[in-house]
Every structure is written in structure tokens, then in C-alpha cells.
Amino acid sequence: MTDALTQLMTERDWLLADGATGTTLFNMGLTSGDAPELWNVDKPDNIRALYKGAVDAGSDIFLTNSFGGNASRLKLHDAQSRVRELNRAAAELGREVADATGRTVVVAGSIGPTGDIMEPMGSLTFDSAVEMFHEQAEGLKEGGADVLWVETISAPEEYKAAARAAELAGMPWCGTMSFDTAGRTMMGVTSADLAKMVETLSLPPLAFGANCGVGASDLLRTVLGFAAQGSERPIIAKGNAGIPQYVDGHIHYDGTPDLMADYAVLARDCGATIIGGCCGTTPDHLRAMREALETRPRGEMRPTLDQIASALGGFSSASDGTGDDAGPRPDRRSRRRRS
């Protein structure tokens, strides 16, 4: 049987994903520092409302409230023994909301990073990462998720571990990284690196891309970087609604619905198929994005960096490490080889 996402992608040439989870839950009273995943069991109505917010605003895909639902992260809340249960609940609530819509809405089981550093710099081994992700994947699968959705990853090995976990769980998956450091991930991965890496996996993702990071402009530069690799694989763009600000005790993102509407259309012109928001993206933003994607024509050509900057604001760094203007690499200081 074809999964719901693959099905939708054969019918349509763009899909709207969802917006923010954390920002929305805060507005419902989640306390800073607490685990959002516990609400899947403790406050299911809030999670239904979160999902419905995206669905009612026109999202074709929404992510489950399970981003931090791996054993390593849940351990902070002494809930590491509840991985399966909390992920299953996240997906079950999603299934319920999706099935009530009467149209095809994809329930994407969110999987975030473990937070640990991979070997050799850190203590996390590939095998233990696979094991943690696999446990989470099985919970999401049981709850009825259509696909797994790996996001905000910065280390290539962790991305590969999640891919392996999806394979073990027999689930189709999508995977995005967060390019937040001079156009690369924190671990130095460029957009070109990711585009190449996904093709080397034994179970490649249905779609790959970028989420979070630094604002909408940077994210689109990353999407252009994927597209420049000539990949036929669908590209995901899930950017933040601007930059976070602290207003009256709340985190507020400065990107308006109008700006995110422009971002959505530009993302499609840059080559993205699955377009959504990340932190700060509310249902109001999603509605504006949906309307723009439905009513505005596709551009004739890929937008240039200048066009992106003039529509959405400047970039956080001069280069993103790809192409001819890639920054200098530290070869000047390699007089000694590592033995």
C-alpha cells in the first residue's frame, strides 16, 4: 500500500506542512522547561487543539507532539520508561484529528535529536542512537503515524541513525536538518552535503530538507543549495516565522503572516515541494501561506539571493559554505597528519 504522503505527492505539486509546536503549547500554558510530550497523556485536548489548528488552517501534513520523545530527552523528566506510550499517544491523537477531516491529511511522527553528541567527540554511539530512535519509531507507528518525520538534526551520523531506525520500523520517513551556523548545521554540514548524503542511505527519505535555523531568508538559501545538486527527491522547507523576541513574558517571532506568505511562494519557486513553518508559525501564518500558494502563480525562474533578501530580509552570513564563494578551509594549518 502506498503511504499517504507519497499518494499526496503524486496528486499535487506542493503540500503545506504545519507550523510551530513549542510556541503554540506555550500559549496554552506549557511551562518553560517542562516536557511537551507529557501532555499527550495529561492534556490530550490541548494536543488535539494544536493539531486542529494546523489542519483547520489548511495543512496537508502535521507533525506529532513527540519531538523530544526519545529516551535521552525524556530522561530529564524521569519519563525515559514512557517512550513508547508517549509517542503512541502523540500519533493516536494525530490519527483521530486527521481522520475527522474527510480529506487526506498526513500524520507525521516527529523525531527530534537526542541532544547527545556522537562519537568520537561525544559519548553517543551510532548503535545506541539507532536503538533510541527505533523505540520512538515503533511507538509512533503503533499510534498510526503515516510517516516518520526526523527534524532539527545537525550531525550527519545522527541523521543516518534515524534513517536506519525508520528502516527497522518499516516506516517511510522524511528528514530535515537545521542549518543555523553560517548556513551550515552546527556540525558543519552544508546543504550540498545533505543532498548527497540522502542518496547514499539504504532507505532514503521520501523527502529531505531544512527546518528551523535562522529566519526565512537563510532557509531559502539552503533550499537553493539542495536544488543546485539536481536532486529529483522532493525538498522540504520549514522555516521559522522570523527571529524570536521576548515580549511581555512571551516569545514572539517577528515574521508576519504576509511575510510567511511571501516565503511560502518563494520556497516553491526555489524548488521546495513540502512547505511549512517552524518556530513562531501560527495558524494565521499557515492560512496566509495556503492562500498564497493557491492563488499566486509559480515564478518562471528560481529566485536569486538578492530577490530573497529584498523580500524577506538579509542573510545571517555572507556564505553558506557551498559553491564558488565557499569560505576558506583550514588547510593552511595541517602541517601534521593525524596518524
Query: Which residues bind to other proteins, rule: CB under 8 A?
Result: 20, 22-23, 25-26, 30, 32-36, 72-73, 76-77, 113, 115-117, 121-122, 154, 180-184, 186-188, 243-247, 249-251, 279-280, 317, 319, 321, 327-330, 333-339
Distance CA 223, CA 211 (A): 10
Q: How far is the CB of 78 from other proteins (least distance, A)?
A: 11
What does the angle CA 133 – CA 138 – CA 139 come to, to the nearest 5 degrees? 100
Q: How far is the CB of 52 from other proteins (least distance, A)?
A: 20
Please tell me whether 174 is known to bind a ligand.
no
Tracing cell 489548528 back to the chain, one arrives at 53
Distance CA 256, CA 310 (A): 15
Per-residue cell: 241: 516565522
Distance CA 141, CA 136 (A): 9
Q: How far is the CB of 330 from other proteins (least distance, A)?
A: 6
Whichever of 9 and 54 has its CB closer to other proteins, that residue is 54
Distance CA 304, CA 247 (A): 34
Q: How far is the CB of 115 from other proteins (least distance, A)?
A: 4
Whichever of 14 and 39 has its CB closer to other proteins, that residue is 39
Whichever of 33 and 102 has its CB closer to other proteins, that residue is 33
Whichever of 35 and 177 has its CB closer to other proteins, that residue is 35
Whichever of 72 and 307 has its CB closer to other proteins, that residue is 72
Whichever of 87 and 190 has its CB closer to other proteins, that residue is 190
Residues with Cβ within 8 Å of 56's Cβ and at least 6 positions away in sequence, in order, are: 283
For the chain, the farthest-separated pair of C-alpha atoms sits apart, in whole angstroms, at: 64
Phi, psi angles (nearest 5°) of residue 288: -65, -35
Give the single-character DSSP code of 318: S
Give the single-character DSSP code of 249: T
Q: How far is the CB of 111 from other proteins (least distance, A)?
A: 15
Please tell me whether 212 is known to bind a ligand.
yes
Give the single-character DSSP code of 327: P
Please tell me whether 270 is known to bind a ligand.
no
Q: How far is the CB of 46 from other proteins (least distance, A)?
A: 14
| SS3 of residue 40 by DSSP | helix
Q: How far is the CB of 62 from other proteins (least distance, A)?
A: 18
Whichever of 73 and 141 has its CB closer to other proteins, that residue is 73
Q: How far is the CB of 5 from other proteins (least distance, A)?
A: 26
| Helices (H), ranges, 170-282 | 191-198, 215-227, 257-270
| SS3 of residue 132 by DSSP | helix
Rg, the chain, Cα only: 19
At position 39, the amino acid (one-letter code) is W
Distance CA 171, CA 145 (A): 9
What does the angle CA 147 – CA 174 – CA 133 come to, to the nearest 5 degrees? 75
Whichever of 68 and 209 has its CB closer to other proteins, that residue is 68
Cis status of the peptide bond prior to 244, with omega within 30 of 0: no
Per-residue cell: 179: 542549518
Which residues line the annotated binding site for Zn(2+)? 212, 278-279
Which residues line the annotated binding site? 212, 278-279
